Amino acid sequence: MADLMKVSCIQMDIALGRVDANFEKAKQLIIEAMKNAPDVIVLPETWNTGFFPKENLESYSDVNGQRTKAEIGGLAKEYNVNIVAGSVSNVKNHKVYNTAYVFDRQGECIAEYDKVHSFSPMGENSFYENGNADCRFTLDGKNCGIIICYDIRFPELTRKMAVNGLDCLFVVAQWPKVRVPHLTALVKARAIENQMFVVCCNSCGKAGETVYGGNSRIVEPWGNELVTADEQEKIITSELDFGVIKNIRETINVFRDRRPEIYDINN
């Protein structure tokens, strides 16, 4: 049915700085995920490098997404599946960005997003350039958006996309285990307040001194969790029924009842 979309999240254990091994693992996990016949496959944040090698970061990074487009876009076309390819450390104009790519069923790159908010507590702002725009796109007729990890702590970014029409938000992350309760609360909050599906794909395992928390999850617009993961590498899958969005927005119409003239937060 047109209102249904099956989504698989690949909760990947990423090897810090081992780019070739990470590409090979990501591709094998995508092939594994296809056993569930999903419409969309999602990868986590900076899965090519891990988060993040501080020595010679540029040398580990993709260049204008060329490898990601060739290898992950190639799988999207081969398997006729949409792939929200998480994000990769990526060089553009001699600067490193945390860049997300989205591929349609034909393997075409239909969206590209540079992480807007760098995670300064881990020094990301000293190694990566910030993006300057949000990102919305369409997958199988559904209005979608993407944010990366720390971005979820800035509700203004998500709400800006939501008021322009959003059915599903993809959150790709490398969120540490110690702060998983925050991630759980934020994913649910973004779903409830914007009356949309939120698909969160986190990493797991250890990189350097940081243990990543897994707990990927898919939350529907009422805030109910459709599927969740534990802390181990795995693939989780759920079917999204977009028919519920019309019902919730008619029942509790927060978009109609908004008063944006009151919300000038720049003053």
Q: Has this prediction a pTM greater than 0.85?
A: yes
Q: What would the pLDDT profile of 76-107 be if each residue is shown by its tens digit?
A: 999 999 999 999 999 999 999 999 999 999 99
Q: How confident is the model at residue 267 (pLDDT cuts 50, 70, 90)?
A: low
Task: Please report the pLDDT score of residue 266 as a whole number.
Answer: 73
What's the CA angle centered on 94, arms 92 and 95, to 5 degrees? 70
Task: Please report the pLDDT score of residue 208 as a whole number.
Answer: 83
CA distances from 55 to 52, 129, 210 (A): 9, 16, 17
CA nearest neighbour of 231 among 213, 218, 209: 213
Q: Active-site residue numbers?
A: 45, 115, 149
C-beta of residue 138 within 8 angstroms of C-beta of residue 146:
no
Task: Please report the pLDDT score of residue 263 as a whole number.
Answer: 87
Mean pLDDT of the 151-157 span: 97
CA nearest neighbour of 110 among 145, 150, 151, 75: 145
Residue percentage of the chain with pLDDT more than 90: 96
Name the amino acid, one letter, at 148.
I
Q: How far apart are CA 71 and CA 196, in angstroms?
A: 31
Task: Please report the pLDDT score of residue 124 as a whole number.
Answer: 97
Q: How confident is the model at residue 251 (pLDDT cuts 50, 70, 90)?
A: very high
Mean pLDDT of the 9-26 span: 98
Q: How confident is the model at residue 157 (pLDDT cuts 50, 70, 90)?
A: very high
Q: How far apart are CA 195 and CA 188, in angstroms?
A: 10
